């Protein structure tokens, strides 16, 4: 079962607490990680710069040697006040002793170079490079793809010759590119390194790929004039061909020559390490937080949540009525949950025992209550039997009629207790069972003018409390007796009694009984029309019973029918109950022949007479 992931869930709250607890550690780790990343980045930058300097060390030494040589030659010229021949001889001697240099010469202040190592005379008066050098009056580094004196691609180092503040000229030494490239290729530092050098005027002095391809090494989004701002720094970019490369900028000759080193690098590495140090800074704290939360949630689920859900499942099974105890039902629980499991099992055993005792007490109470209803029913039947005996020995018709009416009323009360005895609910009475039992006992088989009386009955099953059930049984007994007594055969029709009970409006019950009018088979001189009629004791009794249940009665009469109706409110405890497999009357009455056999009550249970034994102690079932 999944743990609760709502904002009030234990997992979410624990995650929040763990986050709060790990925040100081995460902050410290973030700071330390950033320090480490920055230190690593600094070391990496220094290493890259060092590799760049190693790769250009040969060329740097040559340029510094050339600058030193020009300064020495300039000092010799000032000290010796040489003429052109002597100067040229000194230049030839110098080049002979320094084979890495291709040319040496002196250019006077007017731009004419007559003192040369190879005897050539060149005029530089119109050269822009000479004009820049004369304006600056300091050592300059220049490049010439086709040297004027040598005819090959060279780097030129020029140092001014100044006497008493007056510029006499420049001593220039040429360094061939072929020599710098060959010497650089002979070192192990520049195997994967490509670089180019630029002077202070942002002109490329040299390149490992040649001057004509030097532009291919430049980053596409960085100009040469921006390199001084990036000295001693590393950065990544893409060259003109779109390749991702790692660049390093360093000073080869302070203030004069800058070198730009270039390495091919993996794009993901360069983006993550060099350009995005924040990602590395956050990676460790985030991983630490994730690992801490994962371990905490796993431990929470393993040690707490799964046992809580196991207990909840056991509680639900117990609530559904399962009383089997699986002990122990927690798998390897902590000691605290083991105590809780033991307490729960003990509670289950106690409640199970209490429920069993309650069931036994309820069963005993039900048995006793059934016995009470059974005894009351037997006593009422005994009274009805005594009345029947007196009725048979009565001398006058009025006495026999009175005793018969009393006997039927007592039987109605007996029917209520019989119904209570038969139902599983000892506090309510099923209206259908009650009325069908009354009809079975009170409607005998009889004929009117040679035709049997048809009985139509339809009862809705309603749970009535005992007070309303007793009152309804007495009203129904009186009404059924009157309807049976005064039913008549209408002209061209069949004598019929109609009885119904239903619920109207949801909270009111309605009992309705009617009989046909016409030719009667008994007491033809009586002026009663049917159920509910008359003005004697029976009529007053019915009115009093209707008032007792806060009901209303209605009498209606047509030329062929007489109808009596009683409506009363159901109590709060009353409710419609499911139908039971009880016998129902049909159009032909309780029996196929219209009623019970002569001399015995309908339903087949003989009325006990004096001398025929005690009352029937067996529960009486509905017919």
pLDDT tens across 161-172, in order? 988 888 889 999
- Using DSSP, state whether 568 is helix, strand or coil: strand
pLDDT number for residue 276: 56
- Give the per-residue pLDDT at 563: 94
pLDDT score at 491: 84
Residues 6+ apart with CB under 8 A from 569: 507, 508, 509, 550, 551
| 3-class SS of residue 114 | strand
Facing residues of 562 across strands? Answer: 515, 557
d(Cα 345, Cα 88) in Å, to the nearest integer? Answer: 116
CA dihedral 387, 389, 390, 392 (to 10 degrees): 120
DSSP letter string, 259-297 = EEEEEE--HHHIIIIIS-HHHHHHHHHHHHHHHHHHHHH
How many H-runs (helices) and E-runs (strands) does the chain carry?
Answer: 13, 23
Q: What is the pLDDT of residue 272?
A: 43
Q: For 245, what's the count of Cα atoms within 13 Å in the CB-facing half-sphere?
A: 24
pLDDT tens column, 16-40: 877 777 778 777 777 777 777 777 7
| pLDDT < 50 regions, the chain | 1, 3, 189-191, 267-274, 524-529, 574-623
Query: Which residues contact residue 55 at a Cβ distance below 8 angstroms, ignoring those fewer than 6 apart?
Result: 184, 187, 189, 190, 193, 195, 261
- pLDDT tens, residue by residue, 439-473: 887 777 667 777 888 999 999 998 888 888 888 88
Whole-angstrom CA distances from 416 to 125, 176, 434, 499, 542 are 144, 134, 6, 18, 17
Q: Note whether 542 and 532 are within 8 A (CB).
A: yes
CA separation for the pair 489, 453 (Å, rounded):
9
**Which pLDDT value is given to residue 423?**
66
* pLDDT of res. 125: 86
Read off φ and ψ for residue 257, nearest 5 degrees: -130, 135
pLDDT of residue 74: 87
Q: How far apart are CA 38 and CA 42, in angstroms?
A: 6
Q: How far apart are the first and last CA of the chain?
A: 56
């Amino acid at each position: 079962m999944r743990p609760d992931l709502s904002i009030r869930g234990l997992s979410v709250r624990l995650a929040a607490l763990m986050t709060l607890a790990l925040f100081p550690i995460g902050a410290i780790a973030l700071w330390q990680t950033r320090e480490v990343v920055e230190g690593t980045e600094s070391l990496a930058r220094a290493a890259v710069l060092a590799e760049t300097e190693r790769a250009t060390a040969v060329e740097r030494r040559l340029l510094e040697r050339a600058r030193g040589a020009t300064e020495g030659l300039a000092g010799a010229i000032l000290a010796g006040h040489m003429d052109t021949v002597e100067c040229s001889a000194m230049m030839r001697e110098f080049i002979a002793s320094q084979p890495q240099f291709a040319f040496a010469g002196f250019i006077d202040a007017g731009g004419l170079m007559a003192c040369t190592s190879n005897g050539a005379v060149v005029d530089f008066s119109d050269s822009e490079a000479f004009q820049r050098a004369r304006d600056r009056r300091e050592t300059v580094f220049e490049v010439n793809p086709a040297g004027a004196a040598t005819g090959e691609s060279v780097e030129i180092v020029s140092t001014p010759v100044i006497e008493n503040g007056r510029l006499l000229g420049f001593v220039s030494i040429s360094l061939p590119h072929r020599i710098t490239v060959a010497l650089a290729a002979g070192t192990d530092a520049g195997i994967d390194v490509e670089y180019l050098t630029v002077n202070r005027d942002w002109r490329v002095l040299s390149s490992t790929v040649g001057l004509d391809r030097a532009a291919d090494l430049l980053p596409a989004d960085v100009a040469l004039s921006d390199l001084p701002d990036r000295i001693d720094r590393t950065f990544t970019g893409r060259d003109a061909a779109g390749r991702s490369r790692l660049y390093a900028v360093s000073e080869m000759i302070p203030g004069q020559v800058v070198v730009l080193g270039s390495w091919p690098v993996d794009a993901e590495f360069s983006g993550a390490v060099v350009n995005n140090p924040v990602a590395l800074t956050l990676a460790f704290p985030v991983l630490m937080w994730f690992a801490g939360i994962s371990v905490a949630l796993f431990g929470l689920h393993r040690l707490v949540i799964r046992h809580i859900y196991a207990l909840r499942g056991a509680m639900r099974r117990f609530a559904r009525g399962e009383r089997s105890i699986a002990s122990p039902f927690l798998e390897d629980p902590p000691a605290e949950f083991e105590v809780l499991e033991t307490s729960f099992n003990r509670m289950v055993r106690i409640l199970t025992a209490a429920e069993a005792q309650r069931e036994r007490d309820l069963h005993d109470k039900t048995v006793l209550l059934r016995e009470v209803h059974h005894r009351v029913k037997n006593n009422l039947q005994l009274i009805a039997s005594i009345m029947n005996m007196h009725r048979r020995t009565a001398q006058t018709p009025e006495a026999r009629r009175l005793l018969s009416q009393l006997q039927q009323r007592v039987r109605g009360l007996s029917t209520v207790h019989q119904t209570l005895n038969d139902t599983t609910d000892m506090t309510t009475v099923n209206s259908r069972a009650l009325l069908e039992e009354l009809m079975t006992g009170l409607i005998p088989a009889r004929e009117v003018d040679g035709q049997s009386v048809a009985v139509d009955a339809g009862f809705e099953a309603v749970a009535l409390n005992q007070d309303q059930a007793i009152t309804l049984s007495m009203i129904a007994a009186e009404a059924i007796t009157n309807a049976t007594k005064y039913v008549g055969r209408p002209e061209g029709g069949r004598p019929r009694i109609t009885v119904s009970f239903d619920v109207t409006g949801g909270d009111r019950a309605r009992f309705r009984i009617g009989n046909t009018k016409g030719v009667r088979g008994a007491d033809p001189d009586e002026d009663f029309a049917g159920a509910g009629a008359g003005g004697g004791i029976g009529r007053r009794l019915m009115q009093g019973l209707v008032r007792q249940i806060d009901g209303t009665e209605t009498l209606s009469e047509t030329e062929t029918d007489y109808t009596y109706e009683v409506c009363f409110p159901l109590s709060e405890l009353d409710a419609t109950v499911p139908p039971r497999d009880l016998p129902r009357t049909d159009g032909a009455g309780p029996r196929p022949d219209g009623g019970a056999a002569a001399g015995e009550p309908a339903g087949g249970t003989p009325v006990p007479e004096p001398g025929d034994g005690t009352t029937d102690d067996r529960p009486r079932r509905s017919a």
